[in-house]
Amino acid sequence: MSRPPSAPPALPGFTYLDPLGTGGFADVFLYEQEMPRRKVAVKVLLADRITGSAVKEFTDEANVMAMLSTHPAIVTIYQAGVAGDGRPYLVMEYCPRPNLQLRARRERFSVAEALRVGIQVAGAVETAHRAGVLHRDIKPANILVTEYNRPALTDFGIASTTQGVGEATGMSIPWSPPESFADPPSATPRSDVWALGATVYTLLTGRSPFEQPGGRNSGADLIERIERSPLPSLARADAPGSLQTALEKSMAKNPADRYPSAVAFARALQKVQIELSHSVTPVDIVDDQPHDGGVEEDDDGLTRVREIVSIDPTRPSATTERKHPAPAISLGDVPAGTPAFTSAPAPHASALEATVQRARPADAAPVVPDDEDDDRTMLRAPRVLTPDAPTPPQQPQPATVAEPASPSGEPQQARRGMPTWGWIAASAVLLVAIIGGAWFVGGPLLNQAAPTPTRSDPAPVPPNPLPNYVPPVDEVKAVQQGDKVVFTWTNPDPKDGDSYIWVPVTLDGAGDSVRTDEPTATVPAESGRTCIEVILRRDKGRSSDPVRGCTQ
């Protein structure tokens, strides 16, 4: 029988809200932090447990979690201290969803979710191992769930260094490896690999690996089975044999026969995901011990190792540094169809090019290519200028050389009569010739630059982004007929070879799975509600997410 929680301490800057849980050494309370305002979980050591060794372990836990809590699958530690009543406390990230133990007892995880969670937590464990820390108490109850539905490993209370492999006190028997019960007990990274496998097994079956439903499950019974009995089958039609094999290897009796590391176990689960055509979950590893440049193993990009990165504060951001801002380009009053002009002619441009170049305003600033942009983004102005307004061609000026006078004494220009109109007419002819020549040269090029699509060239059909997606079944309905309940459902996308896997769900957990080719199942009526979960199974072992249906 669980004890009532202890009195929550008064913490400056925090307001107590509710109790969250009790344990053998500490209680956890929900507080609201005032600055910044947020809900936090506060773990407080019990008053009767305040001894020199207990306080040291509590302090070690705070230091270990603070060192590792930047990992996305490890609970974040905000601060630690000692309350006014003398009890040490930790302020942690608040994870509002039920821990994985509570959820696994209520419903079995789908194979897809169990693989995803196993890989994410394995990345956290590998990160701890690379920092020289063994967890030694990995189990579903120590995996919380954040607001964003991500697993978060917690409770490093009995963690130790990878070099200190002495007593394994405080372990949880159902998920502990055989060496934990040896004389003397020992713990290594492969001990955590065992606990990882046992945790994934629990998510898939709803019970610890060597727990027997309806049988004797005392500590002594479990230890005897852990040391001598083979790993029981998952007994799930939707779980491939490769998953059973991976769990058996992770939980081999001899540590030397297990996966050598948590990341090796994660890669085995990734291979199962590939076999089932699931999305492959990357392994996140935070490594503050950079390697010497060698690659440990080719993992096809499925492992993301993040080292500590130093950022040069003197270098401006590539997205804000604009050494040569491009001027705004205004179309102004340019008529539609006005050709664009290049920023500068070639040294030996033709007369036509030189004439067109003169049409650009003399004070228009050239567009400078932003070659300093490291992002290579499409933020650069085109290397083409459009004039703000058309400029009429400059009229040729008559020569300033004096002409000889006529015998009568009048200049020859006066005798020619209205020579200005002749210059205007000649200029108009020249302008028409220039525009016609430009159109003659540029028109075919413009037509070639943008070919008109024909009906004989249909647009390509984009590939299906989810070719292996298996949709869940629809409308799981229940009809009670005497002491039986008949469930029916529909297949939203029937394919050849489709079958169904259904599992009865009771207050005691999920039952044995049944495979059928028909969209119906009959089960005994339970007192209260009767429920089942249905999975659509397709060729090559692909399956959908489970859908639950219950009587009213």
Question: Which residues are part of the catalytic machinery?
Answer: 136
- Tokens 């049988």 sit at which residue? 215
Q: Which of 467, 465, 464 is nearest to 539 (CA)?
A: 467
For 219-269, give the DSSP string: HHHHHHHHHHSPPPP---TTS-HHHHHHHHHHT-SSGGGS-SSHHHHHHHH
Question: What is the rounded CA–CA span in Å between residue 507 and residue 131?
Answer: 42
Beta strands in 139-245 (DSSP E): 143-145, 151-153, 160-161
Give the Cα separation of 131 and 122 in Å (integer).
Answer: 14
* Distance separating alpha carbons of residues 500 and 516, to the nearest angstrom: 5
Cβ atoms of 370 and 326 within 8 Å: the answer is yes
How crowded is residue 527: how many other Cβ atoms within 10 Å of its Cβ? 7
Which residue type, as a one-letter code, is found at position 496? Answer: D
**Closest to 269 measured CA to CA, from 282, 256, 257, 258:** 282
Going from the C-alpha of 236 to that of each of 195, 241, 326, the distances in angstroms are: 21, 10, 63
Alpha-carbon distances, residue 36 vs 39, 78, 402 (angstroms): 10, 11, 89
Let me know if 325 is exposed, middle or buried by CB neighbors in 10 A (0-12, 13-18, 19+). Answer: exposed
CA neighbor of 494 nearest in space, from 544, 533, 530: 544
Hey, how many other C-beta atoms are within 10 angstroms of the C-beta on 429? 10
Task: For residue 520, give the nearest of 540, 494, 549 by alpha carbon.
Answer: 549
